[in-house]
A and B are shown apart, each in its own frame.
Chain A
Amino acid sequence: MPAFPAAARAALADSQLRRNLAHATGTIRAKRAAVVAEVDEWEELRLAGAAIKDNTLRHLDEHLLTLEAALQERGATVHWARDAAQACEIVAGIAKNHHVDEVVKVKSMATQEIGLNEALAEQGITAWETDLAELIVQLGDDLPSHILVPAIHRNRAEIREVFRRRMAAAGRPAPDDLTDEPAELAGAARLHLREKFLRAKMAVSGANFAVADTGTLVVVESEGNGRMCLTLPEVLVSVVGIEKVVPTWFDLDVFLQLLPRSSTGERMNPYTSTWSGITPGDGPQEMHVVLLDNGRTRALADSVGRQALRCIRCSACLNVCPVYERTGGHAYGSVYPGPIGAILNPLLKGVGVDEQTDSLPYASSLCGACFEACPVRIDIPEVLVHLRSQVVDAHRGGAPKPEAVAMKSAAWVLSDARRLTFAERGMGAAGKALNRFGRAVLPGGRRAVRRLPWPASLWTGARDLPAPPAESFRAWWRRTGRR
């Protein structure tokens, strides 16, 4: 994956993508704002959500052991996975023990994070996504571009094309007379998926929450496909990030209010499924839970960055982010795009490892809209600045980049008023010359510069730059003897 600025440039050039994104994020932003405004104690709920998560993270080890014991007591098998490869190996192993070559999947960020579908495919096992948007992405050989609405970058005409061209190879084909009416598209997907639900022996899910004291996993969703996967197959495997644990059912109360309003702009989500171990004769008769680290303990060790582990994957930050709205999710090069992706990826992977990850903390104007929208009050701008300093520190010592040289020089000038005065005299002389010869004139009469060589061209490529004034403020102050 290229670094963010290059990936963003490609996305910005796609005007259809920008229209789709602006429409979709604008709609969901308005829905969210309306339902959040209905709750008088929204701020208190946010504070409660943040506090529960922080307290749980502080004693994460104990809560995880409680969860493990509760799950085992109810007949589930608990696995611990240090990284993506280990987690994929566990899931593939369970599939092989049952001789299945296909599994149905509930939409899950954790399984996407570890690349489970690709890993299973390598072992000859096909994983079918059953969430409508994930199905669109999977059939289209595409990548998800949003946490909640993975196909947000597609409009309905594009979706009709994907269904008509690709459904047949994956099972029941799309009807010949399929139009791009949303109800018809959903109908085609429903018939296509029904075959798979009824056939599958094994399902794979994630979990939105894991309640430690009762050993209960919780999935919230909108389409009912999740409940089909969680109840029909004989074997159920759930891959759960270790930060998903909450101590008790009482804690769920807060999040089941915060999550749907923040994510889909609904007062509550249509389906909430909870399961705790095995019930003989009802539902899956074998249950596995894979508790996944994959960088989470690394993030937990970062005193500023650990707040990112509060994230409940609602994607409210994506929908309000002006950068995401214009570049879309693919530019972030990860299943976690947008502002949360810009902090979560470097926290999980570590900075200074590759250029793409290091570019993510800079993929923000620090406008703060994400912090304002976050239901668990993750101060994303604070973490972004913190991670930028980690990126800079990771590159200290080697040959300095032009940016580092510029920053060091600027700091040298700006740490002493006499040096700044001297630099301003130079700018004033340049300003005088421009005032005589500069062609562009700003409204109000000031001269401006239209073209400058690199690196200033990064500015003047699209923006005029006012000519520096002949006299700085401090020179004026001295000259007029204001004191």
Chain B
Amino acid sequence: MKVAVLVTCINDTMFPDTGKAVFRLLRRLGVDADFPEAQTCCGQPMVNTGYLDEAVPVVRAFTDAFAGYDYIVTPSGSCAGSARHQHSLVARRAGEPRLAETGPKVYELSEFLVDVLGVTDVDAYFPHRVTYHPTCHSLRMLGVGDKPLQLLRAVRGLDLVELPAAEECCGFGGTFAVKNADTSTAMGADKARHVRDTGAEVLVAGDNSCLLHIGGLLSRERSGVRVLHLADVLASTEEDA
């Protein structure tokens, strides 16, 4: 089984710890995964903003970087969704059918752990009160269901509390966050309020992009709530605590 990790551009540049956590976790589970260094981005920022021509060279770089792997694992429901559902659009635009071929091999982290590896207990330890936000693309585009929750429930020491209106969008939405900044902020403020209502110390999600937005609001409100990617929690062990 040849496995590669799609770290994603946002994790690579802004959240390198999440990328490291994915490798630590996979290694602990006996998976020797690669980081193809030619990887950059899934192309979603361009596709979702309507710049299909601009997305073509990005998706081409993606396809070249990940050719030859059986599984591509990524700590992002959004990027997995984009690769699976949007690369075909770009392939059609470019008239290059091969650009649609790698997308179906991309798995969001919780899907890979539960569906491919068949594990829900990854032997993690994280003694904190945690609430979980199911990001829209994980929830609706991929349909990961309760897989992230199955994984979190098996973490030792973790106290999982339910997030009110969990399935409602946080308002990040990629370039929506700046093109419609006021609406985005209004949605995020409600999400942040629900997070605070839980009394959790940590908000966990499967997309650092959404957490960048919600965390930015929580920080501005000086709420004291920390945001953390699912991978960072699952990679934690007793030595880290």
* Partner-B contacts on A (CB < 8 A): 4-5, 8-9, 12, 18, 322-323, 326-327, 361-369, 371-372, 385, 387-393, 403-404, 407-408, 410-411, 413-417, 420, 423-424, 427, 440, 442-444, 448, 450, 455, 458-459, 461-466, 468-469, 471-474, 476-478, 482-483
B179-201: which residues lie under 8 A (CB-CB) from chain A? 179-189
B202-231: contact bitstring with A at CB < 8 Å (1 yes, 0 no)? 000000000011011111100011101000
* Partner-A contacts on B (CB < 8 A): 7, 9, 11-17, 19-20, 23, 34-35, 37-41, 43, 45-52, 54-55, 57-58, 60-61, 65, 86, 89, 136-137, 139-141, 167-169, 171-189, 212-213, 215-220, 224-226, 228
Chain A residues, CB < 8 A from B41: 414, 420
Chain A residues, CB < 8 A from B55: 411
- Are the CB atoms of A367 and B7 closer together than 8 Å? no
- Are the CB atoms of B187 and A369 closer together than 8 Å? no
- Nearest CB in chain B: distance from A382 CB, A: 8
Chain B residues, CB < 8 A from A471: 16
Chain B residues, CB < 8 A from A465: 212, 216
- Are the CB atoms of B180 and A469 closer together than 8 Å? no
Cα of A443 to Cα of B202 in the assembled complex, Å: 9
Cα of A327 to Cα of B167 in the assembled complex, Å: 19
**13 other contacts beyond A368-B141, A417-B39, A469-B13, with CB at 8 A cut-off?**
A327-B183, A365-B136, A365-B172, A367-B169, A369-B167, A443-B218, A458-B178, A459-B178, A462-B216, A464-B220, A473-B7, A477-B35, A477-B37
- Are the CB atoms of B9 and A420 closer together than 8 Å? yes
| Interface SS of A by simple majority | helix
Chain A residues, CB < 8 A from B54: 407-408, 410-411
Given contacts A322-B171, A326-B183, contact A367 B140 (CB under 8 A): yes
- Nearest CB in chain A: distance from B75 CB, A: 11
Q: Output the nearest chain A residue to B187 by Cβ-Cβ distance.
A: A322
- Are the CB atoms of A365 and B58 closer together than 8 Å? no
Chain B residues, CB < 8 A from A363: 180, 183
- Are the CB atoms of A443 and B219 closer together than 8 Å? yes
The 7 closest A-B pairs by CB, nearest first: A365-B173, A463-B216, A388-B50, A367-B169, A415-B57, A368-B140, A411-B54
Q: Output the nearest chain B residue to A22 by Cβ-Cβ distance.
A: B190
- Are the CB atoms of A365 and B171 closer together than 8 Å? yes
